[in-house]
Structures are given as C-alpha cells and as structure tokens.
Amino acid sequence: MLPHAADDISRDGKSLILAYDHGLEHGPVDFEPNPATADPERLFELATHDAVTALAVQKGVAEAYYPDYEDDVNLLLKLNGTSNLWMGEPDSPVNCSAEYAAGLGADAVGFTLYGGSNHEVEMAEEFRKAQETAREHGMGVVMWSYPRGQGVKNDTSPDTISYAARLGLELGADLVKVKYPGSAEAMGEAVRMAGPTDVVMSGGTMRDDVAFLRTVSDAIDAGARGLAVGRNVFQRDHPERILDALEAVVFEEADPEAALAT
C-alpha cells in the first residue's frame, strides 16, 4: 500500500482541519459573529493550536499570510472556490493550480466537487488534473464532496452522503469531506463506502457546544477520521475553548460534556 499522502495534515491518523475559505464562499457575513475573524491573522494564530492539523485557505490568503506561519501551520490550499454573489447551477472555478500550491509550500490541496451538478463532468476533469499533480509533488488531496444541483434531491440524505464519500475513493482523494448524514449509522455506511479514503465531517452552521460536540463524537465513533470545521470554531466568542474540547473528543475520544468541563 502507498504511504498515506495526507499524513502531513493528520495526527495519529486523525485530522482537524480548520476551514477558512468563507470570505470567498459566503462573504463577510460569516465574520459578523466574531468580527476579529475577518483578519486572517487571527485564524493563522488559531491554527497553531495543537488540535489543528491543517488550515484550509484560498490562494490570496496563503500568499499574504502563510510565509509568517510556515513553521507552525500545515497549509491545505483550496484550489477552487466560488462566491455567493451569483445564482445558478453549482460550480466552482479553479483559482489556483496544484503546481502553484506546491510552490507556496502547501502540504495538501483541497478541491470542491459538486456531484450531481450540471457542471460535474468539467469539475471531475479539473479534479483529475489537480489530483495527479498533487501526487507528483507529494501533497495530500482533500475532496470537499458536496453533491448538489439539478441531479440531487436531498444533499444530506444517507444515500447521497454515502455516494459523496465513495466519490472520494473512486477519484483518488486521501480525505473526503462530507456533511453529516443525520445519524451515526449513516455516517458509518459512508465510512464503509470510502474504504481507505479517510472521511471527515463538515462543521456546518453554528450550534451550541454540546450539540456540536455530540455530533462530532458520534461521527468519530462511526469511523470518521476527524472533521473540517470553520464556523463552529471561529464564530464563537472563545474559539480556543472549543478547540480544546475538540482535541479531547477527536484525538482522545473523550465524552463531549467531560471535554467541555476540563
């Protein structure tokens, strides 16, 4: 078996990816709950927390801030992404090549695939190029596997999420990031479909501490290898506190209430 290409963004086989591409994907509205997080420097500081195994950002943020953090933060460079300013069938333009990501010092590349969109065919072809180039440069490959668009009726149903996880394996991702399918049982099935590709759970909109950690814990119990989370960390008043608790839940498999009490 090949060495796991995503070891650089994992710890003990698990990953806690801090996602910070929201300025592009959703716009400044996502920074309103915690205005200091509009400053990427704040997120790079958070990414030095022991719990965080990689920070996912777009090219422009990496160019401006990563040189000061390359010794302390693992870079997961998002290669495609789109704004919320337009309407239409889901698509995500490629904003950065895998070669350019390697030049910036990325440990891994991230790529969104909207399976079921009318643009799936082009996106899969773009992913192929990114995946093969990442392999040449020894970078891990993380797929944001988000089925949506005309071909998808329910983007978080168990069947859809299992298919999303399987796309990660079939197309050669090391990690596949999927939305929580609503139950530990369904997450377990998605993990089974992904085989050797690690499944990580997407964070989603802000929830209270216990409810969020309980879902993370259920996902880990079901075989997920961690999570990729943005808003549920940086929109809180005290992001370090939830990172402490996530570290206990993800890496030590602590009970959520106990993790919050320490």
Which value, in Å, is the radius of gyration of the alpha carbons in the chain?
A: 17
User: Which of 140, 188, 230, 239 is close enough to bind ligand FBP by CB under 6 A?
Assistant: 230
Told to judge if 59 belongs to the known catalytic residues of this protein, a careful annotator would answer no
- Piece of the chain touching ligand FBP by CB under 6 A; list 63-71, 114-122, 167-175, 225-233: 225-233
Q: Name every residue whose Cβ is closer than 8 Å to that of residue 101 and which is 6 or more positions away in sequence.
A: 59, 77, 79, 109, 134, 137, 139
Residues 6 or more apart whose Cβ sits within 8 Å of residue 50: 247
**Cβ(44)–Cβ(81) below 8 Å:** no
Restricting to residues 61-120, which ones interact with ligand FBP according to CB under 6 A?
A: none
| CB nearer ligand FBP, residue 93 or residue 138 | 93
Residues in region 166-205 near ligand FBP by CB under 6 A? 202-204
Q: Is 106 helix (H, G, I), strand (E, B) or coil?
A: coil
Question: Based on CB atoms, which residue is closest to ligand FBP, 133 or 235?
Answer: 235
Separation between Cα atoms, residue 129 and residue 180, nearest integer Å: 28
DSSP, res 82: -
Task: Compare residues 191 and 233 and give the one whose CB is closer to ligand FBP.
Answer: 233
Smaller CB separation from ligand FBP, 88 or 138: 88
3-class SS of residue 112: strand
Q: Name the residue among 102, 105, 127 with its Cα closest to residue 114.
A: 127
Q: Which of 229, 242, 243, 259 binds ligand FBP (CB under 6 A)?
A: 229
Q: For the CB of residue 3, give the shortest distance to ligand FBP in the complex, in Å.
A: 26
Q: Which of 59, 78, 177, 179 is catalytic?
A: 177
Tokens at 125, concatenated? 């072809």
Residue with Cβ nearer ligand FBP (71 or 150): 150
Q: Backbone phi, then psi, for 26, in 5-degree steps?
A: -120, -25
Nearest to 46 by CA among 252, 250, 229, 248: 229
Which listed residue (11, 119, 166, 231) binds ligand FBP by CB under 6 A? 231
| From 20-28, 98-106, 181-189, 215-223, span contacting ligand FBP (CB under 6 A) | 20-28
Q: How far is the CB of 91 from ligand FBP (least distance, A)?
A: 12
Q: How far apart are CA 159 and CA 179, in angstroms?
A: 12
Q: Segment contacting ligand FBP (CB under 6 A): 21-29, 38-46, 135-143, 207-215?
A: 21-29
Structure tokens belonging to residue 257: 């209430």
Return the active site residues: 177
Site residues for ligand FBP per CB under 6 A: 19, 21-22, 25, 144, 202-204, 228-232
